[in-house]
Amino acid sequence: MRIGTVIGRVTLSVRHKAFTGERLLLTLPWKAGTYEGQPETDFSIVVYDELGADVGQPIAISEGREAACPFEKPTPVDAYCAALVDELFYETREGGARRREVF
């Protein structure tokens, strides 16, 4: 599971019938430097959302096989919004640079 920031929504003109009532979010997954305040992110990904995340909000992203687990039927999902992040506490392996954020 990774943390990412929502930067927008994705709109589809044609969609698979398994995607009914969903929202697709464009998200920037964080790298290790992001936790320390540096503006580092991975390439943007599309995340399936049922929780109602908004632009600018950090979310927890489940990817791969685990992303399809919340669905009763097989669903073509590669990234899923697993949680909305309200507060984040990070500590480096060396025990320094503690950072706490409330969103």
Burial class (CB in 10 A: 0-12, 13-18, 19+), 13: exposed
Q: What domain range includes position 48?
A: 2-102
**Strand (E) or helix (H) holding 23:** strand 23-29
Task: Of 12-26, 42-56, 58-72, give the range with the top mean pLDDT.
Answer: 42-56
Within its chain, how far is the Cα of 72 from the centroid? 21
Q: What is the residue whose two structure tokens read 């969903």?
A: 22
Round the average pLDDT of the chain to a whole number and report it: 81
CATH code, domain with 20: 2.40.50.220
| Residue predicted with more confidence, 38 or 11 | 11
Distance CA 95, CA 103 (A): 23
How far apart, in whole angstroms, are the C-alpha atoms of residue 55 and residue 27? 9
Domain count, the chain: 1
pLDDT attached to residue 97: 58
Is residue 96 packed enough to be buried (19+ CB in 10 Å), middle (13-18) or exposed (0-12)?
exposed
Is this structure's pTM higher than 0.85? no
Mean pLDDT within 62-75: 72
